[in-house]
Structure 1
Amino acid sequence: MPEMNRRTFLIASAGAAGLAAAAGAAVTLPQMFERAQQQPLPTDTGILVILTLYGGNDGLNTVIPFTDNAYYDARTDLAFGPETVIDLDGTVGLNPALTGLASAWRNDNLAIIRGVGYPKQDRSHFRSMDIWQTASPDDPTASGWIGRWLDSSGDDPLRAVNIGTVLPPMAVGQKCTAAGLSATIPRLPGDMPGVLEAMSAPDPLDTPAMAAVRADYRAYRTIDDTFRTFTDRPLPPTAATDLGKQLADDLELVAQCVRAGVPTKVYMVSLGGFDTHANERGDQQKLLTALDGAITPFLKQMRNSAYGRQVVTMIYSEFGRRVAANATQGTDHGTSGPVLILGESVRGGFYGDAPSLTDLRDGDLKTTTDFRDVYHELLDQTLGTDPEPSVGPGRRAIGFL
Structure 2
Amino acid sequence: MNAPTPTHELSLTEARDIAIAATLPAGGFADVTAALTRLHAVQLDSISTLARAHQLTLTARVPGTTTRTVDNALNDGPDPPAFDYPAHALALVPLADWPLWAFRRRAARRHPQYPGRHARTALLDRITRDGPLSLRRLRDSAEAGAGWGWSPTKTAVELLVWSGELASTRRTGGQRLFDLAEHCIPAAFLSDQASDDECLTRLLGHAGAALGVATTADLADYLRIPTPVATRILPGTVLTPVKVEGWGTAWADPQALTRPARPHQNPTFLGPFDNLIWYRPRVQRLFGFTQIFEAYKPPARRKYGYYVCPLLAEGRLIGRADFTRRDTTLTIQRASLEVDAGPEATADFAQACQTLAAATCQARIELGNHARDATWLKPTSVLVGSRIQLPPVAREARHTGDRTWSLA
Higher relative contact order at CA 8 Å, sep ≥6: structure 1 or structure 2? 1
- Give the alignment's TM-score, normalised by structure 1: 0.32
Bigger strand share:
2
